[in-house]
Amino acid sequence: MNRKVISLFFVMALVILSALSLTGYGSAQTQKTIKIGVVGPESGGSAQLGQGQHKAIQMAVDEINAVKGTGEWKLEVFFEDDEGNPTKSASATNKLLQQSEVNIIIGAIHSSATLADMVITQRAGIPQITSGSTGSSITEQNNKWIFRTAVNDEFQANALIKHAKETLKVQKVATFTAADDYGQSGAKLLAAAAQKEGLQLSANPTYNNGDKDFKPQILAIKDSGAQAIFMWGLYTEAALIAKQARQLGVDVQLYGASGMAALKLIELGGDAAQGLVLTQSFLPVSTDPKVMEFVNKYKAKYQDSPIPHAAQAYDTVYIIADAVKRANSVKPEELREAIAKTTGLKLVTGQPKFNPKGDDIGKNLLITVIKGDKFELVKTVTGS
């Protein structure tokens, strides 16, 4: 009955395999090192954000270690995939804290995953920085261990609405947002800003991430007579919406936010994306030397143009490096203090400065428009 033997052998192998790798590989504390744990969706629906963050962080760590940017501290980084699922994210964070004994966590991208991780890092008393989650509830948990380098949604919503009111003189607008934490918080902020500016919100349909057909909603917006459509989601869906709107002969002004700001949006959207106005904290084509240097290095290393999440993750590593140099220790409390007092750093996405709740208000905000195959700067709104 060799088949039974194979199966029994297989089960044993399974058990040994699981036990073996659970023991983990905590490296001994030889030379002064700071261990950074990174949690993000490297598979599943938003894999391009997770992998973009992974590449940028790896690049930043290699650069800093090469040039001994943090004095005698060496950076060590561990990556865990959370598939964009909050339960798996909490397990990944736990593994990083217990097995790899990391001193700080970067992650996650989905606000729901970040919230789940914050419960773990707060209980363990370890600082956590998210460079991807923009959900407002994250910095309202009066949790002193959380910092956020993602650009603030509220500024973007207000800037976009103001731009529509002042330059386009529109009265009726519509929001078309993703049905996830990012999209829903954007929809709320846009609606509030529109009301404040006295614009009428004629329609506010939503879509599920991964949806492919948006024509029904676009038609509903067209029937509502909106003169501008504010999108809030990722570039794949945004490009599809732009194309399908053009196909339905709906050519009202399209607005977007930093979540979709990537050259891929232009590549996929084609000429339907021309003239799309969006806010972002990082402009791949900006004349700022720091940005150009980052983009060229990223392209050289990965043959791909960086997405905003990559730029923000890259800066996050530099913030940590600066903080550990100033604190000259990895004790959680001291590291947290050092991060909170970050000032005077000139990075790719602005001059980071954290308010007591943990939000980075040092971000500068660029209003850009798509012209040809790149973003053009329309206006810079400095962080208030």
Residues 260-279 within binding reach of another protein (CB under 8 A): 264, 267-268, 270
Closest CA to 208 of 42, 43, 46: 46
Pair 90, 329: CB distance under 8 Å: no
In the complex, the smallest distance separating the C-beta of residue 57 from another protein, rounded to whole angstroms, is 14
Establish if 137 lies at the interface with another protein (CB under 8 A).
Answer: yes
144 binds another protein (CB under 8 A): no
Q: Output the CA torsion 293→295→301→302 (10° steps).
A: 180
Rounded to a whole number of angstroms, the minimum distance from the CB of residue 10 to another protein is 7
Residue with tokens 């798996």: 88
Q: Which of 34, 109, 113, 327 binds another protein (CB under 8 A)?
A: 113
Instruction: Establish if 115 lies at the interface with another protein (CB under 8 A).
Output: yes
Q: Which helix (H) or strand (E) holds 91?
A: helix 86-98
Omega prior to 108 cis, within 30 of 0: yes
**Shortest separation between residue 328's beta carbon and another protein, angstroms:** 28
At its nearest, how many Å lie between another protein and the CB of residue 183? 7
Site for another protein in 63-82 (CB under 8 A): 79-81
CB closer to another protein, 260 vs 327 = 260
Q: Is 135 in the site for another protein (CB under 8 A)?
A: yes
> Which letter, b or e, does each residue of 185-221 get, where b requires 16 or more Cβ atoms within 10 Å of its Cβ?
bbbbbbbebbeeeebebbbbbbbebebeebeebbebb
Work out which of 206, 227, 274, 329 binds another protein, going by CB under 8 A.
206
C-beta neighbour count of 101 within 10 angstroms = 15
Q: Among residues 25 and 67, whose Cβ is nearest to another protein? A: 25
Query: Which single residue is written with the structure tokens 């100033």?
Result: 326
Decide if residue 240 touches another protein (CB under 8 A): yes
Q: In the complex with another protein, which residue's Cβ is closer, 1 or 66?
A: 1
| Contact between residue 90 and residue 120 where contact means Cβ atoms under 8 Å apart | yes
Residues 346-375 that bind another protein (CB under 8 A): none
Question: Whose Cβ is closer to another protein: residue 101's or residue 288's?
Answer: 101
Contact pick of 65, 94, 200, 224 for another protein (by CB under 8 A)? 94
Task: Give the sign of the dihedral formed by CA 323, CA 329, CA 335, CA 337.
Answer: negative
Of positions 72, 213, 251, 376, contacts another protein by CB under 8 A: 213
Minimum CB distance to another protein, residue 42 (Å): 7
Measured CA to CA, the distance from residue 372 to residue 259 in angstroms comes to 20
State the number of CA atoms in the 13 A half-sphere of 51 facing the CB. Answer: 10
86 part of the interface to another protein, by CB under 8 A: yes
- The number of residues in the chain equals 384
Residue 330 contacts another protein per CB under 8 A = no
For residue 26, the tally of other CB atoms under 10 A from its CB is 11
Tell me which stretch binds another protein (CB under 8 A): 117-125, 190-198, 320-328, 369-377: 117-125
Choices 8-16, 58-66, 287-295, 313-321 (CB under 8 A): range interacting with another protein: 8-16
- Of 236 and 368, the one with the shorter C-beta distance to another protein is 236
Restricted to residues 173-192, the positions that interact with another protein (CB under 8 A) are: 179-181, 183-185
Our CA angle for 177, 183, 187, nearest 5°, is 70
7 binds another protein (CB under 8 A): yes
